[in-house]
Amino acid sequence: MHKTNYTANNDTKTLVAERAFDAPLPLVWQAWTDSAILDQWWAPKPWKAVTKTMDFTPGGKWLYAMVGPQGEKHWSLTEYKEIVPSQYFKQQNCFCDEQGNRITEMPGTSQWHVAFTPHGETTIVTTTITYDSAATMEKMTNMGFKGGFAMAHENLDAYIQAQFNYVTSTKQLPGQGYALI
């Protein structure tokens, strides 16, 4: 299993997270862009992600809640700005209410650039997050973002491993491609 590596730069208000996943690019891309799959790994345990709506197209939005063990919900809104399939997507994120209205008491917006680089049967995902201020970046870090994001990556590792076990158990033949279920 790989580790999520972070690099922070207060001057540029950026946090870069880089993580390798032991799966080919099509599987990793689908896991980051399909709400049914995102809901299975996006939240750090014991939390879970629950999608209300998702439209993975430029200008589309993903409205979801992080649901805690006692049923508490923290809503987030992602707005997709640019998508180059199997290469990268750019998005803007903020905390919001259940209708997608930004909550101003929470840390401000962030711009994400999520890039996918194939490396044999491994895919490297580099997430560059630019915050609206260094104070927002610090607040998110203090709220446990790094640990939570790394835990979510571990959930994705487990999901990918389960999919490969399924593919192996069905004796899928080479050249037939991969499919996450």
CATH number for the region 5-167 comes to: 3.30.530.20
Query: Which tokens belong to 122?
Result: 């491994």
Residue 1 has pLDDT above 90, yes or no: no
Query: Is the omega angle on the peptide bond into residue 46 within 30 degrees of 0, that is, cis?
Result: yes
Tens-place pLDDT, residues 133-160:
988 999 999 999 999 999 999 999 999 9
* Mean pLDDT, residues 69-79 taken together: 96
Domain ranges in the chain are 5-167
Report pLDDT for 170.
46
Q: What stretches of the chain show up as alpha helix (H) in DSSP?
A: 25-33, 35-41, 134-142, 145-169
DSSP 8-class letter at 81: E
Q: What is the pLDDT of residue 172?
A: 46
Percent of the chain whose pLDDT exceeds 90: 81
- Name which residue leads in pLDDT, 13 or 168: 13
